[in-house]
Amino acid sequence: MNKIKDFLQLIKPSLSIMVVFSSVMSFVLTPAFDQYEEKWKWVLLLFAGGMLVTGSANAINMVVEKDTDAQMKRTGKRPVASGKLSVQEGWAFAILTGAAGIFILGNFFNWTAAGLAAFSLFLYAFIYTPLKKVSSIAVLVGAFPGALPCLIGWAAGDDKLSTGGWILFGIQFLWQFPHFWAIAWIAHMDYSRVGFKLLPSDKGPTKFTALQTVIYSLLLLPVTLIPYYTGMCEYSTVSGMIGLFLIILANVFMIMRSVRLYQSMEVPAARRVMFGSYIYLPVVLLALLMSKA
């Protein structure tokens, strides 16, 4: 039983659920989704495939970073770092889950979605993960696999990479910068001790880092309004107006938290940005769904 729990920890369930949520929401936002019969069946299949691929990427991350994880308080109890699972068990789990997830996406949806999932897994596990110790550009690189779930979900429903998928990709791409920099700000001492370079300034948490957080939070506002200009969403209905209001409110909320970080330069303010970002993304995606044309 403990072994099962250890393998489940390799997936990083809470993180994976958040990632797959954006993929499912993108799938539901496609125009083609309305034509599906047994909608919940397809949602659950996409969720299962997404969880397996994301879990595989997270498992590889834990195997590759086992020595680094063992040195940090927040990651020291991870199954491979703590010795509960061997490196071989971690790799076996990653290969099996990754292959199963890609098969589900390809077999039940299409191979465009499956190919994107495979590319995302590769980019996260083998490019972003080792790059974290080389340069802070790792955050930029990591933002691509972090946003690809939106394209994967859209491709699964639309069978092609059309405008709506790229808009959702852009939203999640920009969102990751204030989100991740807030995490890196909070964990800066741990990260710098093991050689991770994740903040935009090599001097650590600085005004420059806080300003970058504000800039990316500001950029999110116009990008989240693009769906209303492309016809993907509408504001002429009551639900559409409510959705638009929620999106504007969520952006103001995120901008204010980032500005407060710039003003105070303190860890509690960074923590508010981090938790605010967890709220922001599902609110925006659900608001877009309310406004779906």
* Helix residue ranges, H only, the chain: 2-11, 13-29, 39-64, 66-70, 87-108, 111-122, 129-131, 138-158, 163-186, 188-193, 207-230, 238-264, 267-290
Task: Count the residues in the chain.
Answer: 293
| Structural contact between residues 81 and 75, judged by C-beta atoms closer than 8 angstroms | yes
Q: How many CB atoms lie within 10 A of CB 258?
A: 29
In a shared domain, residues 233 and 283: yes
What is the pLDDT tens value at each position of the chain, 293 positions in all? 677 888 888 888 888 898 899 999 999 999 999 888 889 999 999 999 999 999 999 999 999 988 888 888 888 888 888 888 889 999 999 999 999 999 999 999 999 999 999 999 999 999 999 999 888 899 999 999 999 999 999 999 988 888 999 999 999 999 999 999 999 999 888 888 888 888 887 787 999 999 999 999 999 999 999 999 998 999 889 999 999 999 999 999 999 999 999 999 999 999 999 999 999 999 999 999 999 98
In a shared domain, residues 292 and 239: yes
Residue from 175, 191, 190 nearest 276 by CA? 175
Helix, strand, or coil (residue 109): coil
In a shared domain, residues 240 and 126: no
In a shared domain, residues 131 and 179: no
Q: How many CB atoms lie within 10 A of CB 291?
A: 24
In a shared domain, residues 258 and 183: yes
Contacts of 236 (CB under 8 A, 6+ apart): none
Read off the pTM.
0.93
**Angle, alpha carbons 151-153-154 (nearest 5°):** 60
Q: Kindly list the distances between the CA atom of residue 168 and the CA atoms of 9, 242, 289, in Å, as whole numbers in the listed order.
A: 29, 19, 12
Domain final residue, candidates 112, 128, 161: 161
In a shared domain, residues 190 and 81: no
Whole-number CA gyration radius for the chain: 19
Helix, strand, or coil (residue 27): helix
pLDDT at 1: 66
Q: How many CB atoms lie within 10 A of CB 74?
A: 11
In a shared domain, residues 41 and 5: yes
CB-based burial, 47-59: b 16+ in 10 Å, e otherwise: bbbbbbbbbbbbb
CA dist 247 and 219 (Å) reads 13
In a shared domain, residues 207 and 237: yes
pLDDT at 114: 97
CA dist 188 and 179 (Å) reads 14
CATH of the domain at 24: 1.10.357.140
Domain final residue, candidates 138, 161, 184: 161
DSSP string of 55-99?
HHHHHHHHHHTHHHHHTSTTTTTSTTTTTSS-HHHHHHHHHHHHH
Domain final residue, candidates 161, 193, 210: 161
- Which domain, by its residues, includes 253? 162-293
- Backbone φ and ψ for 292, nearest 5 degrees, come out as -55, 130
In a shared domain, residues 113 and 193: no
| Structural contact between residues 65 and 30, judged by C-beta atoms closer than 8 angstroms | no
In a shared domain, residues 204 and 282: yes
In a shared domain, residues 148 and 187: no
Q: How many domains is the chain built from? A: 2
Q: What is the DSSP letter of 128?
A: I
In a shared domain, residues 151 and 174: no
CA dist 142 and 252 (Å) reads 26
